[in-house]
């Protein structure tokens, strides 16, 4: 192993280990948690996939600044920006399950390569667009392609790391996502203001090219593919039947959907909290989101440690409860610090649910990975979209305390139901 790569792996391994432990004097359990991260980082194929996709995630966050700016400059309409977000949601609603079935049939490696190349090409075309409709069409196409990429990547990860280290591997991807959320928009703003709007698009196109080239040269085993069947319809039906028959799968899908119900709600009501409850400038909503991101980062690191002490379902239920309590308490905040604390609780719960739910779906049935991830995408996408639309509508007629409290109670009810029905699960 080259010296530079050895030092890189040691540095990350040591840093993550200290983060998990919190102290230099480690207990036996803490050492074991660090070891799992070490197992992940000593898989060269996984490290290449992780780092290349981390770069792509930053590009995804970066482009949103440029894309929203482009749409608003062309139209001068906030509703046009909302329509842009709808273009992202529609493919998840329509194609999530179908894409998952395709992933179980096709080669995940080449799905990822082709998806990255297509998205990079589409982004490159955005500055060349002459009309607003063309921009929406391109973004809709990008979102469609991404529906195939996400389950392919998720289905690939278990083939690259040992099963006992899978939770840690998913945690690293979660860490990358949170970091991308934190720095991507800042980079996008800097490029847009200091260079040009078009430069932001070309930069993002490059971030798709890097993982496409990197994955092309990776050797990825094909261990989780279904045998040839008459058609995709039979694959879809088999996936749905399997999901309904597995209590642990239903638990994962229910808790993930509940989590995204909270996220969809807070994305609409967060600004209302800052203006009407806290009586501060709307920009302070960014402070609350920063708290959410910081805690999500910590939660992603700690999830590997927690996974040794609790089952996937137990952690998912605990995460949903934490989100429900944070959502219910948030509109009662009397200061920005208190609101940020409740938002942080929501973020911690979210990352716990997301990482554990994904890990469970990846491990319970290797031949069904793609379909289960596709079903999850469809459900979470539907819930997020419907929550944002419904909460926005109800918010015009009902007090925000009632709206958020109702969502919190619904979420808590989901957690209680899952806990009662699946308390004997071995997952």
The answer to whether 225 touches 116, Cβ cutoff 8 Å, is no
Choose between 31 and 108: higher pLDDT: 108
Q: In whole angstroms, what is the distance from residue 266 CA to residue 346 CA?
A: 9
Show the tokens assigned to 422.
């699946």
> How do residues 287-326 score in pLDDT, each as one tens digit?
666 667 677 777 777 776 777 778 888 888 999 999 999 9
Residue 121 has pLDDT above 80, yes or no: yes
pLDDT at 4: 41
309-346 CB burial, b ≥16 within 10 A, e <16:
eebbbbbbbbbbbbbbbbbbbbbebeebeebbbbbbbb
The share of the chain scoring above pLDDT 90, in percent, equals 8
> How do residues 160-200 score in pLDDT, each as one tens digit?
888 777 888 888 888 888 788 777 777 877 887 788 888 88
The answer to whether the 27-220 and 234-421 domains have the same CATH topology is yes
pLDDT at 116: 92
pLDDT at 395: 61
CATH of 234-421, one of 3.40.190.10, 3.10.310.30, 1.20.1250.20, 3.40.1010.20: 1.20.1250.20
Cite the DSSP H helix spans in 330-425: 336-363, 369-394, 400-421
Choose between 17 and 363: higher pLDDT: 363
User: Which fold would CATH assign to domain 27-220?
Assistant: Growth Hormone; Chain: A; (1.20.1250)
pLDDT at 37: 60
pLDDT at 289: 66
Residue in 366, 369, 250 with CA at minimum distance from that of residue 317 = 250
Question: What is the domain partition of the chain in residue ranges?
Answer: 27-220, 234-421
> How do residues 186-238 score in pLDDT, each as one tens digit?
787 788 778 888 888 898 889 899 899 988 988 887 654 544 455 667 777 88
Residue 15 has pLDDT above 60, yes or no: no
Q: In whole angstroms, what is the distance from residue 79 CA to residue 72 CA?
A: 9
Q: In whole angstroms, what is the distance from residue 150 CA to residue 143 CA?
A: 11
Per-position DSSP letters for 181-217, written without gaps between them: HHHHHHHHHHHHHHT-HHHHHHHHHHHHHHHHHHHHT
> How do residues 21-69 score in pLDDT, each as one tens digit?
333 333 334 445 555 666 677 778 888 888 888 888 888 877 777 777 7
pLDDT at 199: 87
């Amino acid at each position: 192993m080259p010296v530079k790569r050895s030092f890189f792996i040691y540095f990350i391994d040591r840093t993550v280990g200290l983060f998990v432990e919190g102290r230099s004097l480690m207990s036996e359990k803490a050492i074991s948690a660090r070891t799992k991260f070490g197992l992940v980082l000593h898989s060269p194929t996984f490290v290449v996939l992780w780092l290349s996709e981390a770069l792509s995630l930053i590009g995804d966050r970066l482009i949103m600044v440029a894309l929203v700016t482009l749409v608003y400059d062309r139209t001068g309409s906030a509703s046009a920006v909302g329509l842009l977000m709808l273009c992202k949601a529609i493919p998840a609603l329509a194609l999530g399950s179908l894409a998952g079935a395709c992933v179980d049939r096709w080669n995940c490696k080449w799905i990822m390569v082709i998806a990255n190349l297509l998205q990079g090409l589409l982004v490159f075309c955005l500055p060349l667009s002459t009309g607003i409709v063309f921009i929406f069409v391109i973004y809709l196409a990008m979102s469609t392609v991404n529906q195939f990429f996400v389950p392919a990547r998720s289905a690939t990860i278990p083939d690259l790391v040992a099963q006992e280290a899978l939770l840690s591997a998913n945690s690293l991807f979660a860490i990358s996502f949170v970091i991308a959320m934190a720095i991507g928009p800042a980079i996008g703003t800097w490029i847009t203001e200091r260079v040009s709007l078009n430069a932001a698009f070309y930069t993002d196109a490059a971030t798709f090219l890097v993982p496409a080239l990197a994955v092309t040269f990776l050797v990825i085993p094909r261990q989780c593919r279904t045998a040839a069947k008459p058609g995709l319809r039979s694959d879809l039906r088999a996936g749905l039947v399997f999901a309904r028959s597995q209590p642990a799968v239903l638990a994962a899908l229910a808790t993930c959907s509940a989590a995204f119900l909270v996220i969809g709600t807070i994305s609409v009501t967060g600004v209302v909290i800052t203006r009407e409850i806290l009586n501060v400038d709307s920009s302070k909503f960014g402070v609350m989101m920063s708290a959410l991101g910081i805690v999500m980062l910590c939660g992603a690191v700690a999830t590997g440690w927690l996974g040794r002490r609790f089952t996937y379902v137990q952690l998912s239920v605990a995460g949903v409860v934490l989100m429900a309590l944070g959502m219910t308490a948030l509109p009662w905040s009397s200061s920005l610090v208190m609101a940020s604390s409740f938002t942080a609780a929501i973020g911690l719960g979210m990352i716990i649910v997301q990482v554990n739910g994904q890990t469970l779906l990846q491990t319970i049935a290797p031949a069904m990975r793609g379909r289960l991830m596709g079903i999850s995408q469809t459900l979470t996408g539907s819930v997020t979209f419907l929550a944002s639309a419904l909460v926005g509508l109800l918010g015009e007629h009902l007090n925000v305390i009632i709206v958020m409290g109702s969502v919190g109670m619904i979420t808590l009810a989901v957690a209680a139901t899952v806990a009662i029905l699946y308390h004997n699960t071995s997952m």
